[in-house]
Structure 1
């Protein structure tokens, strides 16, 4: 089996799931899969993907895993009790060839948010590994190791980058589970204090690393349907997060409506309450300058806040961002595909995104247009109007 533990996923799935349990237990959602790679035929792997999902749905949390989660300061005991009873259910997910017969596949996840939220990351990992097992049966691990060591040396051996810290965010797009494990072990051994931790909870448990993550786009998207008023949905999402975590897990995601709309809602209260913000679309240098200026405008010392960059990063871009913003704020970087799927083969650019909540369309309108995903253009147009986002 590709996925052998329900902890083999990103931490923010659990932090969001706890909010869902406590505040939105009745929410119904729909997620859809999208492959952004032109000309990649995924249909030959449908049977493998289905079989792996069946195996995923047979898993239960083990006592050691529950004990680990209960030891995290922000995870509450009733949530751990719920996970002790939890099991993923195949009835909420379907995998089929797309009706247009163009090599695309349709993966639809539909059901209660509380019972479907954990599908995304392991299913993406399954699709990746099924594809690369078939297309690269004899992987060039020597090349992968050479590339990884070259990246490590870029930062480790430069005194100007002594405070640069990078975390592994690569579960969903990894080449394979085994390669992911080797990458993390190598970083732990050879990268020293530059290795900040991992978003993967199983790896954090196994390798005694810091698990990292707060919220993802789906959380703020769902708030479009769950909040009292669409225009206030981003504010509602941040307030509900603060109600649950009381100042902990204080990194706000900034690109569900674009940076300008984020800053209009991220007022003095949120500037003080949240520890910082995460970049995930658009020009990272422009984003960083805007955020620093916003803090200064609100009389907040930017050096007391954290900026996390996580959008399609490679190590050279990490270095560029470090040199631009170091000594001006606290910096952190999450690197995904470039860490866990860089053996010389073209990686898959695949996502699973929430498209509906409580039978209402939901969307994200990021600063990178290709990252937008919604099946209702009329709703997208309305969302742009409500949040004062110019058409592209």
Structure 2
């Protein structure tokens, strides 16, 4: 089986198969947020930019070829939604009601990805996407998946046949060992969140199939829409940092910026009802978010923890619920920050009897090839998962000439994004209570 998989990889590399061949090969929350953006913010333009957090990873200089990257981005720009894609989205009723309006489906029917701007900058690329928010946002996980796969393909081209087979044998054994370890904890529930920094499309497809086979009820779904459709799984997703980031950037006064993060949630609830009421509080810091949260937010189903110390963030949420007279056992925490088996088990054992927990398992599920590459190979230190994101960095209302910088503070200061002077301004507005400086592996 591993030999067959390695043969598929060889053909993909030799034939320069596009890493993304469908517009539904994308995180599901891009559709959910896209519809909200179309409904409430149709007159907003944004710029998204590739950010490589790991400074030791060179994308250029013999790793990712610029002409190949352009060819794959161009291929993605030529994609459109098929009728079957739209039928699938039209029938999406995970919470017993159709999620997507005919107006939004009409928008998708005529949709293609907007232009990009790619330039070489030292040992990396400067990659930006600018235009209407609902269009540009769709690039995020697609662009990351393309870059990630091209990076690992370039390294695999340096391997001989037996070395390539060895790499995938080791990686599959590691994945199976992880899944077997989690099977010892039957009540742990987790989903695949690996698309944006996956090893490759083929590897994610194989991995999701193995998860479904081995983990049974523990494996509750995937964030990747194509994989969910292919394997008849639940597509997982709610909202992401870009919503409060962009809307806050457009707010004028300090007070308007403070309340923007809550106005987003009000609009979200009006569009999707109770089923998708999971809030993400760490954009500008969880502590300030909970302290200023309006009455009624405690009725939401739960929250997603995506930065900072997960135990202290979870304890803060439990304490906040108790202060508002809510039994934490009725609520849910979704942990999604750099997880692997040991951290999943540790968090489960800490919180399981006190609050419902679930896990969005990302890069270290879909791209853990550490120590799988031949140790004596010159490129062995490069064959590992690394941290990169594609974030909104500027926003403006359509017709304006001035761009407003977009900021994320995070509960982890090493994940903060934005110009230094704007980070300082936002720190003055929101504070840094509860913020820590954690190493960012992925």
Query: TM-score per shorter chain, which class?
Result: over 0.9
Q: Which of 315, 334, 357 is the aligned partner of 1:289?
A: 315
Deviation at 1:24, TM superposition (A): 0.4
Is 1:325 equivalent to 2:351 in the alignment? Answer: yes
1:125-164 map, 5 Å: 125-137=145-157, 138=159, 139=164, 140-156=167-183, 158=184, 161-164=185-188
Structure 1: where are the runs of 5+ without partners?
A: none
The residue that corresponds to 1:232 in the other structure is 259
Rg bigger for which structure?
Answer: 2
Is 1:189 equivalent to 2:189 in the alignment? Answer: no
Deviation at 1:286, TM superposition (A): 0.5
1:160-187 per-residue CA deviation (whole Å, 9 max, x = no partner) reads: x211011000001111110010000000
Q: Which of 203, 209, 227 is the aligned partner of 1:179?
A: 203
Is 1:343 equivalent to 2:387 in the alignment? Answer: no
Q: Which of 33, 36, 57 is the aligned partner of 2:50?
A: 33
Paired residue secondary structure (2:195): coil
Q: After TM superposition, where is structure 1 displaced by more than 3 Å over at least 4 residues in a row?
A: 225-228
**Equivalent pair of 2:285/2:430 in contact (CA under 8 Å):** no
The residue that corresponds to 1:364 in the other structure is 408
Counterpart Cα distance in 2 of 1:348 and 1:46: 19
The residue that corresponds to 1:17 in the other structure is 34
Q: Which of 296, 299, 302 is the aligned partner of 1:276?
A: 302
The residue that corresponds to 2:342 in the other structure is 316
Aligned length: 382
1:334-387 per-residue CA deviation (whole Å, 9 max, x = no partner) reads: 11111110122311211111111111112111111111111x222221111111
Deviation at 1:45, TM superposition (A): 2.2
TM-score by length of 1: 0.94
Q: Which of 393, 397, 403 is the aligned partner of 1:355?
A: 393
TM-score by length of 2: 0.84
**Equivalent pair of 2:114/2:129 in contact (CA under 8 Å):** no
Paired residue secondary structure (2:68): helix
**Equivalent pair of 1:223/1:236 in contact (CA under 8 Å):** no
Distance 1:38 1:226, change over 3 A: closer
Counterpart Cα distance in 1 of 2:72 and 2:276: 32
Is 1:251 equivalent to 2:278 in the alignment? Answer: yes
Structure 2: where are the runs of 5+ without partners?
A: 1-17, 94-98, 371-382, 397-402, 437-442
Deviation at 1:226, TM superposition (A): 4.2
**Equivalent pair of 2:249/2:407 in contact (CA under 8 Å):** no
Is 1:82 equivalent to 2:107 in the alignment? Answer: yes
**Equivalent pair of 2:302/2:331 in contact (CA under 8 Å):** yes
Give RMSD over aligned pairs: 1.5
Counterpart Cα distance in 1 of 2:317 and 2:131: 37
Paired residue secondary structure (1:268): coil
1:4-33 per-residue CA deviation (whole Å, 9 max, x = no partner) reads: 110011111111000011110110111111
Deviation at 1:246, TM superposition (A): 2.4
Paired residue secondary structure (2:197): coil
Paired residue secondary structure (1:342): coil
Counterpart Cα distance in 2 of 1:239 and 1:204: 28
**Equivalent pair of 1:128/1:348 in contact (CA under 8 Å):** no
More off after superposition, 65-74 vs 181-190: 65-74
The residue that corresponds to 1:57 in the other structure is 77
1:204-219 map, 5 Å: 204-219=228-243
Paired residue secondary structure (2:196): coil
Deviation at 1:227, TM superposition (A): 4.9
More off after superposition, 34-43 vs 201-210: 34-43
The residue that corresponds to 1:387 in the other structure is 430
More off after superposition, 66-75 vs 41-50: 41-50
Counterpart Cα distance in 2 of 1:177 and 1:318: 25
**Equivalent pair of 2:48/2:137 in contact (CA under 8 Å):** no
